[in-house]
């Protein structure tokens, strides 16, 4: 019997499949997955796990359904959790690249291969939503009277135009957020802008609508200058990406497909027993 690793042509005798555990559910241990993916230190692998958990949170999924923590710091992982982890791991590692293709190919619902950056987009977009909530509270306590104008000032600083004009430039409908069509780098830049705006408001004890708008514009302008200095491309001309909401739907299809697949395997085993 030939044993392979992440080989979709030999699923029944694949090392990943053979490392599966069963105890009410089918699961993989994070420490064992770490070794299969080629990580030397489990501690460094935890970064991939945490990013995967962050994506799961952004998808509004039950984390404990897919990531079950153990007292020794290990995790029981569902197949979908393994998928999210590999999509957030170092793709330069040969086994990580193979695992991404392997797990995606087993998801019958997937409509094409979801690239690693798309998963990163989901994670960062979720963090932006959290930061917006925090910034809203901070701005409210600092005397904001029009949060829309305050946020628009930040866009003016970073993009040299307001959100309405930015939608036109990017070809985005009026009822859609430009953030949903940004790549991971642009999203990360906006997350940084929002975080630093909040930090400036707190550290400088800024109060009042106009002063808040000035602060948002100033921080946005600094982020813009850094981005242009790095590669010469103005942020408003960064390539528009596909709607992140459509990517989210596809990832949820993957979750349903992989969960259903293992449920069937477990049910079949119980019947045979």
Tell me: the pLDDT tens digits for 166-187? 999 999 999 999 999 999 999 9
Q: Where are the domains of the chain?
A: 8-106+249-272, 116-242
Helices (H), the chain: 15-18, 30-36, 42-58, 63-66, 79-87, 94-105, 116-141, 147-159, 163-170, 184-203, 209-231, 244-272
Residue-level pLDDT at 31 = 97
Mean residue pLDDT of the chain comes to 93
Q: Is 112 helix (H, G, I), strand (E, B) or coil?
A: coil
Going across the sheet that includes 67-69, the strands are 21-22, 26-29, 75-77, 67-69
Residue-level pLDDT at 268 = 64
Q: Answer yes or no: are the C-beta atoms of 89 and 96 closer than 8 Å.
A: yes
Q: Phi and psi at residue 76, in whole multiples of 5°?
A: -90, 130
**What value does the mean pLDDT take over residues 140-151?**
97
Length of the chain: 273
Residue-level pLDDT at 220 = 98
**What value does the mean pLDDT take over residues 217-233?**
97
Q: Would the CA dihedral through 47, 3, 107, 118 be positive or negative?
A: positive
CA proximity to 99, closest of 34, 145, 190, 41: 34
CA proximity to 157, closest of 204, 209, 227, 205: 227
With a threshold of 0.85, does the pTM exceed it?
A: yes
Strand partners, 21: 27
Query: Could you give the CA distance from residue 215 to residue 185 in angstroms, rounded to a whole number?
Result: 23
Q: Phi and psi at residue 110, in whole multiples of 5°?
A: -70, 135
Tell me: the pLDDT tens digits for 83-126? 999 999 999 999 999 999 899 888 764 445 688 999 999 999 99
CA proximity to 188, closest of 214, 226, 150: 226
Q: Phi and psi at residue 90, in whole multiples of 5°?
A: -75, 105
Q: Which residues contact 84 (CB under 8 A, 6 or more apart)?
A: 52, 55, 56, 66, 119
């Amino acid at each position: 019997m030939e044993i392979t690793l992440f080989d979709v042509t030999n699923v029944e005798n694949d090392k990943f499949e053979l490392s599966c555990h069963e105890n009410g559910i089918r699961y993989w241990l994070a420490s064992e997955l770490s070794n299969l993916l080629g990580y030397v230190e489990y501690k460094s692998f935890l970064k991939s796990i945490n990013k995967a958990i962050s994506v799961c949170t952004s998808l509004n999924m039950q984390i404990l359904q897919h990531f079950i923590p153990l007292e020794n710091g290990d995790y029981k992982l569902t197949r979908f959790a393994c998928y999210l982890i590999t999509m957030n791991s170092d793709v330069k590692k040969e086994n990580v690249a193979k695992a991404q293709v392997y797990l995606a190919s087993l998801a019958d619902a997937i409509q094409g291969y979801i690239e690693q950056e798309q998963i990163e987009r989901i994670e960062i977009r979720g963090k932006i939503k959290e930061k917006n909530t925090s910034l809203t509270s901070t701005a409210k306590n600092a005397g904001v009277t029009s949060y829309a104008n305050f946020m628009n000032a930040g866009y003016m600083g970073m993009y040299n135009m307001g959100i309405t004009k930015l939608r036109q430039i990017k070809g985005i409908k009026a009822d859609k957020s430009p953030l949903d069509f940004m790549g991971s780098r642009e999203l990360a830049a906006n997350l940084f802008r929002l975080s630093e705006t909040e930090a400036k408001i707190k550290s400088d004890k800024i109060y009042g609508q106009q002063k808040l708008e000035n602060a948002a514009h100033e921080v946005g302008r600094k982020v813009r200058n850094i981005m242009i200095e790095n590669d010469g491309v103005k942020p408003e001309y960064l390539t528009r990406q596909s709607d992140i909401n459509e990517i989210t739907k596809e990832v949820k299809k993957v979750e349903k497909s992989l969960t259903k697949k293992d449920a069937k395997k477990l049910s079949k085993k119980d019947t045979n027993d």
